[in-house]
Amino acid sequence: MSDTTTTTTERAPSVYVPSAEALATVLAPGARPPRPSALGASLTFGWRAMLKIKHVPEQLFDVTAFPIIMVLMFTYLFGGALAGSPRDYLQFFLPGIMVTSVVMITMYTGIGLNTDIEKGIFDRFRTLPVWRPAALVGMIFGDVLRYILAAVVILGLGLVLGFRPEGGVVGVVTGIGLLVVFSFAFSWVWTFFGLILRSEKSVMGVSMMVLFPLTFLSNVFVEPSTMPGWLQAFVKVNPVTQLVAAIRGAMSGESDPSATMWLLLWSAGFVLVFGTLTMYRYNRR
């Protein structure tokens, strides 16, 4: 394998001749600036994520088209059967599908990281004298923006279809805030898998294996009370269930403190456990 994949779009006429004088001006050693703060470095890496969106806007499909399809599909598929009408179902279902869509999008964090490593760019980042987690934190900052975008798209579509949250603007913003907090924390699971798995495909495979049961075996689509006991037991401890309950509470104006507390605990746990594992792997390679 060699790096001879070149696209020859160099405009021929001006042949570059290295000039000693020009190089001398850029090689003169200047004073080294102080190293950037942890937050500064993370935000700079976040800026990189923004630039990538600017240059490759197609990558926004999964935070726009995909959530729209999910909302329409399930609302009209289950609405009539489960709640009498799609509009009635939507009042229950919208916070749930918002969670499902956004939590599913978190897996792209792992895929993106895996691609960066495969290409070699992470070698450069890892030789920079900056706060070590900055490259990963910055990457997730960029993803958080995508999560917010997806949540807003879903909310907008929901409002058009007849979703009427009782909690008002404050409730809706609180709900999306909780979702963003959880998704930020959950992304660290994927940075870990992005570091340890060999290829983009295997990251995708593992993500799907985790995400499908996690989102479907929850209170997203139906009330758990109709499920068999063993399943209810799983659904109850599933963090997605807590997240959906907390967001439903916030959006309907009747906050659910217990679910909110569990959701925040889960989030702290994910950052603590998978953040630590990720940084361990990141430093040990």
Partner 1 sequence: MSRRTTGLAIEAEGLTRSFGDTRALAGIDLQVPAGTVYGLLGPNGAGKTTAVRVLATLLRPDGGSARVFGHDVVDEADKVRSRVSLTGQYASVDEDLTGTENLVLLARLLGLRKPAARERAAALLAAFGLTEASDRQVKKYSGGMRRRIDIAASILNTPDLLFLDEPTTGLDPRSRNQVWEIVRAVVSHGTTVLLTTQYLDEADQLAGRIAVVDHGRVIAEGTPGELKSSIGSGTVHLRLRDPAQRPEAERVLREALDVPVQLAADPVALTARVGEAGTDLDASAQAARALSNLARAGILVDNFSLGQPSLDEVFLALTDHPAVPTDERDDELEAAR
Distances (CA, A) of 52 to 48, 153, 175, 218: 6, 21, 28, 34
- 169-198 residues near partner 1, rule: CB under 8 A: 195-198
x/- string (CB under 8 A) for partner 1, residues 3-22? xx-xxxxxx--xxxxxxx-x
How many residues are present in the chain? Answer: 285
Give the residue carrying structure tokens 């190089």: 23
CB 122 within 8 A of CB 130: no
Which residue of 29, 57, 229, 257 would you call a contact of partner 1, by CB under 8 A?
A: 29
Residue 57 binds partner 1 (CB under 8 A): no
Radius of gyration of the chain (CA): 23
Give the residue carrying structure tokens 């309950």: 245
Q: How far is the CB of 8 from partner 1 (least distance, A)?
A: 5
Q: How far is the CB of 31 from partner 1 (least distance, A)?
A: 5
How far apart (Å, rounded) are the C-alpha atoms in residues 272 and 278?
Answer: 10
Backbone phi, then psi, for 9, in 5-degree steps? -115, 10
Nearer to partner 1, 121 or 173 (CB): 121
Burial class (CB in 10 A: 0-12, 13-18, 19+), 212: exposed
Nearer to partner 1, 6 or 226 (CB): 6
Nearer to partner 1, 90 or 197 (CB): 197
- 219-278 residues near partner 1, rule: CB under 8 A: none
Residue 118, CB-side half-sphere exposure with 13 Å CA sphere:
15
Residue 81 binds partner 1 (CB under 8 A): no
Nearer to partner 1, 31 or 169 (CB): 31
How far apart (Å, rounded) are the C-alpha atoms in residues 145 and 212?
Answer: 23
- 123-162 residues near partner 1, rule: CB under 8 A: 123-130, 134
Q: Which stretch binds partner 1 (CB under 8 A): 1-9, 63-71, 229-237, 256-264?
A: 1-9
What is the binding site for partner 1 (CB under 8 A)? 1-4, 6-11, 14-20, 22-36, 41, 44-45, 47-48, 51-52, 55-56, 118-121, 123-130, 134, 195-198, 284-285
